[in-house]
Structure 1
Amino acid sequence: MTLSELNTLSEEQATETLRQCCASSHWVECMVAARPFANIESLLIAANAVWSHCQKSDYLEAFDAHPKIGDINSLKKKYQNTQAMAGHEQSGVDEANAGTLQALAENNGKYERRFGYIFIVCATGKSASEMLTLLEERLHNEPADELSIAAAEQHKITSIRLCKMLKNTSLPKEGAIL
């Protein structure tokens, strides 16, 4: 899809397309209303602005659309409509050993019991052991701090998906507007 095509989609089509990048209804509605975008930078600026005004319920709605890290069967089954976007995000888990996968599963459970939602991390480019280390570290965060971290990770994921969605668009560089 090109940016021009995104700009000219019907409201219903744009809603469905943007929902594949982030499942927060509020974020999607605002992004659909913000069209047309002049360029990818303006799209990312709008995505950032909208996300920065989201509330906890919006974050939780977006988090709920993710499979648990390492739960590839869940990724394939529950999230078929976002599989093209999300399918490679957890590719670092594909080569993990059984012990790492077991530790991810156990710590995911601890995380969910502690914070009330699944562990959210921008998994792109991370190995399973890196994600496990992050998960173990973040288990010690205060709930309000962790929600902010998880929301920032969700926004990274969304930005990457927006760029993947658009043809001939490179991913945002480290430190870019996210």
Structure 2
Amino acid sequence: MPNSLAGFNRRPRAEAEAELLACCASRAFAADVAARRPYTGRERLAETAAAAVRALEWPDVLEALAAHPRIGERAPGDARESRWSRQEQAGAGEGGAGLREALADGNRAYEERFGHVYLVCATGLSGAELLARLRARLGNDEETERGVVRDELAKITRLRLGKLMEEEGR
């Protein structure tokens, strides 16, 4: 069944939640956004999703982060979210071996400092830009960084919701 907005609104709740998990891998997010159907427009869906991401408890954010590969690493598999992740991180492959090594070192430093994967909305960013943002964020305190992570997760979720509606609405 095509996943146009109308189709999404009509889906059984469990199916809608499964679709939403491809956009943000938090079960609390998927349950919240699915429960608020029907949506009157894609923008309303996107706004609701962004608010739901920002309202997640930190363990729910960590659940979502667990589904994201490190910046510069290829997402495995052929699942929709893996394909999307590879598209989003296309710029991370630019810059050669030195940049890839710097990203890997930065990822390790970030994970040691904050205890989770470095998340950034990578769409349209070069490898050098991704590395610069990573290095800048290493200076954040934990509370500030949690806010940045929520904002980045909301951006990614918004992009993926758009892809979900476009990809399956054909």
TM-score (norm 2): 0.91
- Partner SS state of residue 36, structure 1: coil
- Out of 69, 72, 79, the position equivalent to 1:70 is 72
- Out of 29, 41, 44, the position equivalent to 1:42 is 44
Structure 1 segments unaligned to the other structure (5+ residues): 169-178
Structure 2 segments unaligned to the other structure (5+ residues): none
Contact 1:24–1:58 (8 Å) recurs in 2: yes
Matches of 1:98 and 1:84, distance apart in 2: 23
Contact 1:85–1:165 (8 Å) recurs in 2: no
Q: Displacement, 1:87?
A: 2.5
Matches of 2:83 and 2:6, distance apart in 1: 21
Matches of 1:94 and 1:134, distance apart in 2: 16
Q: Displacement, 1:140?
A: 1.0
Q: Deviations over 1:82-122 (max 9, x none)?
A: 12332300000233310000000011001001000010000
Partner of 2:79: 80
The answer to whether residue 24 in structure 2 is matched with residue 22 in structure 1 is: yes
Aligned pairs (5 A) from 1:2-151: 2-72=4-74, 75-77=75-77, 80-151=79-150
| Number of residue-to-residue matches in the alignment | 165
Matches of 1:56 and 1:93, distance apart in 2: 27
Q: Whose RCO is larger (CA < 8 A, sep 6+)? A: 2
RMSD value, Cα:
1.5
Q: Displacement, 1:50?
A: 1.7
Contact 2:50–2:157 (8 Å) recurs in 1: no
Q: Deviations over 1:23-75 (max 9, x none)?
A: 11111000111111110111012112322321111111111110000011xx0
Q: Displacement, 1:81?
A: 4.6
- Partner SS state of residue 61, structure 2: helix
Identity of aligned residues (%): 36
- Partner SS state of residue 167, structure 1: helix
Matches of 1:85 and 1:102, distance apart in 2: 23
Matches of 1:64 and 1:43, distance apart in 2: 24
